[in-house]
Amino acid sequence: MRCFDIHTHILPGVDDGSDSMDTTRELLKLQLKEGVTDIIATSHYDTRRNRQDYDHIMELTREVQEEAKKLDSELKIYSGAEILYSRGVLDDIKDGKVPMIAGTECCLVEFYPSQSFNEIEEALNNIIMLGKTPIIAHLERYQCFIGKIDLVRDVVKLGAYVQINSNSFLEGMFSKNARFIKKLLVNDLIHFVGSDCHDMVSRKPQMEKTYKYIAKVAGEDVAERITVTNPEKIVSGEYL
Pick the closest to residue 8 from 18, 19, 21 (CA basis): 18
Where exactly are the structural domains of the chain? 3-235
Q: Calculate mean pLDDT across residues 174-188.
A: 88
What integer pLDDT is reported at residue 173 of this predicted model? Answer: 63
Q: How far is CA 55 from CA 63, 76, 235, 236, in A?
A: 12, 19, 20, 22
CATH number of 3-235: 3.20.20.140
The average confidence (pLDDT) of the chain is 94
What integer pLDDT is reported at residue 48 of this predicted model? Answer: 86
CB pairs under 8 A, 24+ apart, for 182-188?
182/217, 183/149, 184/139, 184/149, 184/152, 185/214, 185/217, 185/218, 185/222, 186/217, 186/218, 187/149, 188/222
pLDDT tens digit sequence for 33-67? 999 999 999 999 999 887 889 999 999 999 999 99
pLDDT tens digit sequence for 182-211? 999 999 999 999 999 998 887 788 899 999
